[in-house]
Amino acid sequence: MGGRDARSVSRRQALRLGGTGLGLVLLGAGAWGCSPDDPEAPDAGSTPGGKGADESFVTPPPGRAPKPLWQAVTGNDSLSSASALAVTGGLALVAGDPLVAHDLVTGREKWSRKGVTTPGAGLLLGGGTLYLASAEYDGDVVGLDPRSGKETWRSRIGKEYDQPRPIAADDRHVYVLAGILEKDFSTPNNVIAAIDTASGKVVWRERRDAGTEEHGITAQVADGRLVYTDYRRNVTVRDTVTGRQLWTKKLKNSNWEQFAVHKGLVIVAEGRRLRAFALDGGAERWTLDTGDFTSFNGPRVLDGVLYVSDRLHGMWAVEPESGKVVWRNQDLLEKAAYAWQFTKAGDTVYAASELDDKGGIHAFDAATGKLRWTYNDGSGDIQRWYVVGGGKRLAVLHAERLYALPAV
């Protein structure tokens, strides 16, 4: 057990290095496609490859989505969590078995690791390392170099804990949740712990309140605080140095989706309301109501603006410091499922839709909220979409298909 320089561990070679033999079809910079309802929408048969990149993308006409720059097939499945897709160092990482990394420019597979983590595990990046629960169910947490896929780190919080899994990470710690094993091997209680990413040693370990569950946890680290929500309708804040619980609030609705932490505020969706709490102390700062018979989904702050959708497929832009609405768009009311994941490039906000064959990736004007275009691959698959920005490109995941779209 130890830190990043544990050489005996890092000698484990990544499996199936190199390309997948999928071939090469580049659709060309500046190409644009069709709307989801157009029968000539691009098919999903194009495959990755190519050399270098031409980033001089041309803005498509209004209502016309761009074509993918490349496409690839991955091992992602319906078990994947909200963090099934990540972009780092010019690579698009996709959870699944195998866990794979594709060059975001060319689409070529850079590395692949089979049997490296548990089914449904999300991609957790912190301090330049990808943290995962060990596939051997041996109580270990492993760290991979996202550039090569090679294991560089391994640790555990103790033999008396069951199925530990990382929930958040920063430059100093990886934060782990695990069940406390009883004599009959049941786990009615659980702990949250911090492991030092340099030494691999446990820094602190705190038992959570009785009745809390091991699942349904969504967590973030910000300003020396570990913030998480859970199935039990709680939002909780701990000190990252000591693990001490600073405050917890009971919500009226379960919240295990994403939440936002911005400039000393924790912003969560609670049914028809968005609620902002002070990161220090938990005092409520503002509340925003939908005004309709609908509920908010998980929010995200991008470039100082909070973006959130509602269950009637509305899209909102809100000032995170005050809760004041900047704009509200309802163009998707009769067209697709609500958006659940957001990224931003230039003056456009991109949103990935939930489970709907007419959904896809929606592009909104960041200033006005006007819907510019929607990309749909025409597959008819109802699995959720994912979108993560990477410079002038978007990594897009839908079922087992990975795409790169120009951020135009």
- Residue 12: the pLDDT is 32
Residues 313-340 have pLDDT tens digits of 899 999 999 999 999 998 887 776 788 9
User: Mean pLDDT for the chain?
Assistant: 84
- Residue 328: the pLDDT is 95
- Residue 54: the pLDDT is 61
Q: In the chain, what percentage of residues exceed pLDDT 70? A: 84
SS3 233: coil
- Residue 106: the pLDDT is 96
Question: How many angstroms separate the CA atoms of 249 and 290, rounded?
Answer: 21
- Residue 135: the pLDDT is 87
- Residue 36: the pLDDT is 39
Q: In the chain, what percentage of residues exceed pLDDT 90? A: 58
Question: How many angstroms separate the CA atoms of 132 and 97, rounded?
Answer: 13
Please say if the pLDDT value at position 207 is more than 70. Answer: yes
Instruction: Write the CA distances from 272 to 35, 67, 228, 301, integer angstroms.
Output: 31, 36, 20, 19
- Residue 304: the pLDDT is 97
Contact 166, 154 (CB under 8 A): no
Q: What mean pLDDT do residues 110-124 have?
A: 90
- Dig out the tokens for 333 from the structure: 């009311």
Beta sheet of 99-103, edge-to-edge order = 85-88, 91-94, 99-103, 109-113
Question: How many angstroms separate the CA atoms of 62 and 382, rounded?
Answer: 26
Of all helices (H) and strands (E), which one includes residue 326? strand 325-329
Contact 67, 23 (CB under 8 A): no
Q: What mean pLDDT do residues 67-77 have?
A: 92
Give the number of other Cβ atoms within 10 Å of residue 305's Cβ: 19
Lowest mean pLDDT among 9-23, 61-75, 266-280, 327-341: 9-23
Residue 318 vs residue 31, higher pLDDT: 318
Please say if the pLDDT value at position 39 is more than 70. Answer: no
Residues 92-104 have pLDDT tens digits of 999 988 999 999 9
Q: What mean pLDDT do residues 253-279 have?
A: 90
Question: How many angstroms separate the CA atoms of 297 and 13, rounded?
Answer: 41
- Dig out the tokens for 369 from the structure: 């909220």
SS3 376: coil
- Dig out the tokens for 317 from the structure: 């832009």
Contact 281, 237 (CB under 8 A): no
- Residue 45: the pLDDT is 39
Show the 3-state SS of 43-91.
CCCCCCCCCCCCCCCCCCCCCCCECCCEEEECCCCCCCCCCCEEEECCE
Please say if the pLDDT value at position 16 is more than 50. Answer: no
Residue where the block lists tokens 């920005």: 389
Of all helices (H) and strands (E), which one includes residue 10? helix 7-10
How far the first Cα of the chain sits from its last, in Å, is: 46
Q: What mean pLDDT do residues 383-387 have?
A: 93
Residues 272-315 have pLDDT tens digits of 999 999 999 999 999 999 988 889 999 999 999 999 999 888 99
- Residue 336: the pLDDT is 67
Instruction: Please give the single-letter amino acid code of residue 368.
Output: T
Q: What mean pLDDT do residues 167-178 have?
A: 95
Name the percent of the chain in helix, strand, coil, to the closest 5.
0, 45, 55
Residues 118-139 have pLDDT tens digits of 888 889 999 999 999 988 878 8
Please say if the pLDDT value at position 43 is more than 70. Answer: no
- Residue 292: the pLDDT is 81
Residue 349 vs residue 55, higher pLDDT: 349
- Residue 79: the pLDDT is 66
Contact 136, 152 (CB under 8 A): no
Please say if the pLDDT value at position 181 is more than 90. Answer: no
- Dig out the tokens for 47 from the structure: 């495959």
Q: What mean pLDDT do residues 356-372 have?
A: 91
Banded model confidence at residue 9, pLDDT cuts 50, 70, 90: very low
- Residue 358: the pLDDT is 77
Please say if the pLDDT value at position 35 is more than 60. Answer: no
| Rg of the Cα atoms in the chain | 21
- Residue 168: the pLDDT is 96
